[in-house]
Each structure stands twice: as structure tokens, then as C-alpha cells.
Amino acid sequence: MKWAVFALSAAMLMASCHTLTPEEKAKQTAQVQQAIAERNMRFELRAAYPRRGGMITSVSDFFLEVRGDSVISYLPFYGRAYYIPLGGGKGLNFDAKIIDFIEQRVKKDMTRVVFDTHSGEDLYRFTLDIFDNGEATIYVLPQERDRIHYDAFLVF
């Protein structure tokens, strides 16, 4: 009986570990590169990593969108704020224009996008490390708050 349970569990595990064919990988890479080139990206969060403390798993629909020359940020913030408006301010929830946008292929399977933006409360530098499989790390460096980064994935 134990053997049957083990065999069934192993079969289910192997079935869930589907690897992409070379054609599927090439298609996925092309989609990611096209999204970056068109500046049409939406990232949904998996986890947040504040400067102080451990990982916080994302349970809500937090996201970051880049649309042409604009950014829409709906990100949670955990950490210390050094100077904020009375009442807490908007934090990382804002729509703003992108000031500088730099795109660079830094590894064989990763593109780095760096841009600055101003929310009206704070100046932010975003660094997006976007892998060809759609996984991403979003680094946020605010001027008036602790830095924070997020694990995310690109949604098509």
C-alpha cells in the first residue's frame, strides 16, 4: 500500500514538472522581449522583501504597470518612512510619468530596465530585472523611505 501511494505521488510530481520545449521557450522569450521593447508590461507580485525584516508573501492583487511613458504602481510598502505627508501619504500607490528609461541586456537570459519617476510625494528609482521566462525582480529605491524589492512575474 505504501508503495502505491509513493508511486502515485511521484507520478503526480513528475506530471506537474512540465518543461518547455525549445519552441515554447523561444516564443516566451519573444513575448517578453516584445513587451519590454513596446514598454507595455504588467507585473503581478508574489512576495515583498523589506529592508528590515523577512519575506512577506503577497496575498492581494498588487501590481506594477509600465505603459509607454507612464508607470502605474500599486505596491505594498513595508518599512520606515523618513519624511512623508501628514496621514501617511500615497506610498507606492500612484500613476506618474517616467523620467528616464534605460533598457539593457545584462545577461544571456535577463534584461534590466531602470527608470525614475516622481509621485508628487517622493522620487523613486525602479530597477526591473526581467528574465526571459517572465519572472522578474522589482527593486524600488525611494528618496524618503526604506528601499524594498519584490518578486513578480510578467503577465501577458
User: Residue 90: which pLDDT band, with cuts at 50, 70 and 90?
Assistant: confident
Check residue 5 and give its pLDDT.
Answer: 47
- pLDDT at position 130 over 50: yes
Exposed, middle or buried by CB within 10 Å (0-12, 13-18, 19+), for 110?
middle
**Contact (CB, 8 A) for 39 and 69:** yes
Q: What value, to the nearest 5°, has the Cα angle with vertex 78 and ends 66 and 137?
A: 40
Lowest mean pLDDT segment, chosen from 31-35, 82-86, 106-110: 82-86
Check residue 156 and give its pLDDT.
Answer: 83
CATH of domain 24-155: 2.40.128.410
Domain residue ranges of the chain, discontinuous segments joined by +: 24-155
